[in-house]
Amino acid sequence: MGICKTSYPINSPLYEEDLDSKLNIEIEEIRVLNMSCPAISPVKETFFISHGSPTLSIDESLPARNFLKSFKQKFLMNQKPNSILVISAHWETSEPTVNSIRGRNDTIHDFYGFPKSMYQLKYPAPGSPELAKRVKDVLMASGFPIVHEDKKRGLDHGAWVPLMLMYPEADIPVCQLSVQPNRDGTYHYNLGKALASLKDEGVLIIGSGSATHNLRALGPSKNVSSWALEFDNWLKDALLSGRHQDVNNYDMKAPHAKVAHPWPEHIYPLHVALGAAGEGVNGELIHHSWDLGALSYASYRFPSLNRSS
């Protein structure tokens, strides 16, 4: 069915004009016709992306841009996921909440004082009420008693900035899941474990945060702060050697943890991605660069362990 492969570049007239009704009709057609499309292959890994500064959306000098632009060819071998679930550091709630959008997602410009061109960027990926319901169902079945659906919230820059580079066609349904900053790493790891079965349904699970995130420590220096290096290296060693419990308890185990993450929301997406990969998985560092003297763009892949038949 040709409709299975339909994609429209972001800058095409379809997205430049106000054609919401036409797009919504097309999304419904895709949902119906996808039932007759060939089965989607399971997604065998999860990812943690350090999305860094919002200027990643326009700054060609940042090495992370090229990494994200080559993502689908290098790391998914051009396999197209059925849908994408992003756990973003920029959505904080007291209880797990997933956005459930019928139609296209709004683009949330949740940053201030940046170039005007950044506020004109759009990433109108379709939402997926079906995926939102699955997320809610699997979380509640795994012991999370309250899971909310938000039927209005679009995609914040923790989701749309990396996705516009990874999947610029904006033709894959996207949902976001919030983090709970009042909880700990183990809680978010268990949140990921509960989501793991979605990979078998062709869902690409991405945690979007930052390996280090202390905005007050950022500056123009090209020399990386020692505390940032030490924390970043500790995190890399823990992930590559599969020390999940150490990562879950990073705030007690890692050097300079409170300096690297004065608040935990930017590291919790990592715990979700790690938990969704499964216990015993060793991470793989797939990109590393620095900006502003203390902002790590370290990003990781977590391949799922082979399951016994």
The total number of structural domains that make up the chain: 1
Supply the range of the domain harboring residue 183.
Answer: 43-303
pLDDT of residue 77: 84
The answer on pLDDT for 14 being more than 60 is no
| Reported confidence tier of residue 304, pLDDT bands at 50, 70, 90 | confident
Residue 244 burial by Cβ neighbours in a 10 Å radius (0-12, 13-18, 19+): buried
Does the residue 154 lie in any domain?
A: yes
Does the residue 67 lie in any domain?
A: yes
Does the residue 15 lie in any domain?
A: no
pLDDT of residue 38: 46
pLDDT of residue 263: 97
Does the residue 105 lie in any domain?
A: yes
Does the residue 189 lie in any domain?
A: yes
| Reported confidence tier of residue 76, pLDDT bands at 50, 70, 90 | confident
30 Cβ neighbours under 8 A, 6+ residues apart? 3, 4, 6, 126
H/E element, 90: strand 83-92
| Reported confidence tier of residue 1, pLDDT bands at 50, 70, 90 | very low
The whole-angstrom separation of Cα 153 and Cα 174 is: 12
pLDDT of residue 41: 82
Does the residue 172 lie in any domain?
A: yes
pLDDT tens digits, residue range 206-265?
A: 999 999 999 999 998 889 999 999 999 999 999 999 999 999 999 999 999 999 999 999
- How far is the CA of 135 from the CAs of 38, 99, 128, in angstroms? 23, 10, 11
Contact 89, 178 (CB under 8 A): no
pLDDT tens digits, residue range 252-276?
A: 999 999 999 999 999 999 999 999 9
Does the residue 20 lie in any domain?
A: no
| Percent of the residues in the chain that have a pLDDT greater than 70, as a whole number | 85
CATH of the domain at 229: 3.40.830.10
Contact 269, 209 (CB under 8 A): yes
Does the residue 36 lie in any domain?
A: no
Q: What is the mean pLDDT of the chain?
A: 89
